Amino acid sequence: MSNLLSVMNDGYEIPSIGYGTWMVPDAESEALVREALEAGYRHIDTAMIYENEVGVGKGIARSGLPREEIFVTTKLWITDMNDPQGALTTSLRKLQLDYVDLYLIHWPAPKVNLYAKAWDALIELREKGLVRSIGVSNFNPEHLDALKGSGVTPCINQVEAHPSFPNTEVITANTAQGILTECYCPLGRGKYLTSPVLSGIASHLDATEAQVVLAWHLSKGYIPLPKSATPARIKENLDVQKIELADEDIAAIDSLATGRKICADPADFNG
């Protein structure tokens, strides 16, 4: 299956849906990554702190796909902000890769106050060819603003966002700076998928409620990172690319917003 592509502000393309591996145990990640790649995913998202880079790397290596066909993301953890190159070197070794397509600062951790310094280091890693694109995750508008002095704008800000928590302030700031929004927890861990609004739209479109939500993400220009350990659902989540929502469907889904986060709050990782 072909992947829709989004263009980042550095000119590189990124598949518009990725396979998320958060909370996937290392022992299971090889098989699940291979399953996702076989289903047609070409975008795999992991992180050092997920402790599954070894399995993800094995899944990529044993998929039989050319390296250049797979977009791989990993992330710099808070405790490694003083040595991003060392952290990336370790991640590349675990992933069995010479470079990653996207490297993100996982959390700003403003109390630690190293994220601007770490950002300068990521710029250097990009110049060395160890990463192609660089970005951030869980950054609020003030954290994005603090990077402006570097002269390099993040390509991506990966944040929690779904119909229940649209994260409007952050995503508005992303858009204003030409930063694409990636969405972890795009299905809200299934907590709102029983909504009659979603059920009605799903029935009309002959789709699942999860597919409707992922189509909502795509309609907004977001890049969702759904995770599933079920082969049928892994494929269903990618099949969403052929679903088109009407304007009234999008408005109805927008009405589900409660402002309540489901995943961790950036304040939990201030350092």
pLDDT values of the chain reduced to their tens digit, one per residue, 271 residues:
457 999 999 999 999 999 999 999 999 999 999 999 999 999 999 999 999 999 999 999 999 999 999 999 999 999 999 999 999 999 999 999 999 999 999 999 999 999 999 999 999 999 999 999 999 999 999 999 999 999 999 999 999 999 999 999 999 999 999 999 999 999 998 888 999 999 999 999 999 999 999 999 999 999 999 999 999 999 999 999 889 999 999 999 999 999 989 887 656 666 5
The predicted pLDDT at position 263 comes to 84
Residue 80's Cα: distance from chain center in Å? 20
**Which domains are delineated in the chain?**
5-185+222-229 (3.20.20.100)
The predicted pLDDT at position 267 comes to 60
**How far is residue 73's CA from residue 104's CA, in Å, rounded to a whole number?**
8
CB 13 within 8 A of CB 234: no
Question: Among candidates 216, 217, 253, 208, which has minimal Cα distance to 235?
Answer: 208
CA distances from 212 to 4, 120, 183, 233, 264 (A): 16, 39, 15, 13, 24
The predicted pLDDT at position 268 comes to 62
50 classed as catalytic: yes
pTM score, whole prediction: 0.96
Tokens 């980042």 found at: 8
The predicted pLDDT at position 3 comes to 74
User: At 72, is the secondary structure helix, strand, or coil?
Assistant: strand
The predicted pLDDT at position 241 comes to 84
CB 187 within 8 A of CB 211: no
Per this entry, what is the length of the chain? 271
The backbone torsions φ and ψ at residue 252, rounded to the nearest 5 degrees and listed phi first, read -65, -40
CB 208 within 8 A of CB 202: yes
Long-range contacts of residues 119-124, Cβ cutoff 8 Å, at least 24 apart: 119/147, 119/150, 119/152, 119/154, 120/150, 121/84, 121/85, 122/76, 122/84, 123/150, 123/152, 124/85
Tokens 């880079």 found at: 53
Other Cβ atoms within 10 Å of 240 Cβ, number: 23
Q: Which entry of 19, 41, 50, 115 is annotated as an active-site residue?
A: 50
Describe the crossing of helices 231-239 and 209-220 by its angle, rounded to 10 degrees.
40
